[in-house]
Amino acid sequence: MSLTTDAVKKIAHLARLNLNEKELVTFTSQLSNILDFVEQMNKTDTKNVAPLAHPLDINQRLRDDVVTEPDQRAAFQAIAPQVEAGLYLVPKVIETDEVEA
Partner 1 sequence: MDYKTIAQLKNDLHTKKISSVELTQSFLKRIKQYDKELNSFITVTEEVALKNAAEADVRIAKGTAVALTGIPMAQKDIFCTTGIKTSCGSKILDNFISPYDATSYKQFKDAGTVLLGKTNMDEFAMGSSNETSYYGPVKNPWDLERVPGGSSGGSAAAVAAYLTPAATGTDTGGSIRQPAALSGITGIKPTYGRVSRYGMIAFASSLDQGGVFARSAEDTALLLNVMAGFDEKDSTSINKPVPDYTKTLNDSLEGLRIGLPKEYFDAGLDPEIEKAIQAAIKEYEKMGAKIINIDLPNTGLSIPAYYVIAPAECSSNLARFDGVRYGYRCKDPVDLEDLYKRSRTEGFGSEVKRRIMIGTYALSAGYYDAYYLKAQKARCLIRDDFVEAFKKVDVIMGPTAPSPAFKIGEKSNDPISMYLSDIYTIAVNLAGLPGMSIPAGFVNNLPVGLQLIGNYFEEAKLLTIAHQYQKNTNWHTMMPKGF
- Binding interface with partner 1 (CB under 8 A): 3, 8, 11-12, 14-19, 23, 27, 30-31, 33-35, 37-42, 44, 46, 49-56, 58, 60-61, 63, 72, 75-76, 78-82, 88, 90-93
The distance of closest approach from Cβ of residue 64 to partner 1 in the complex, given in angstroms and rounded to an integer, is 11
Q: Which amino acid is at 9?
A: K
**CB of residue 84 vs partner 1: minimum separation in angstroms?**
13
- Quote the CA–CA distance of 92 and 99 in Å, as a whole number: 13
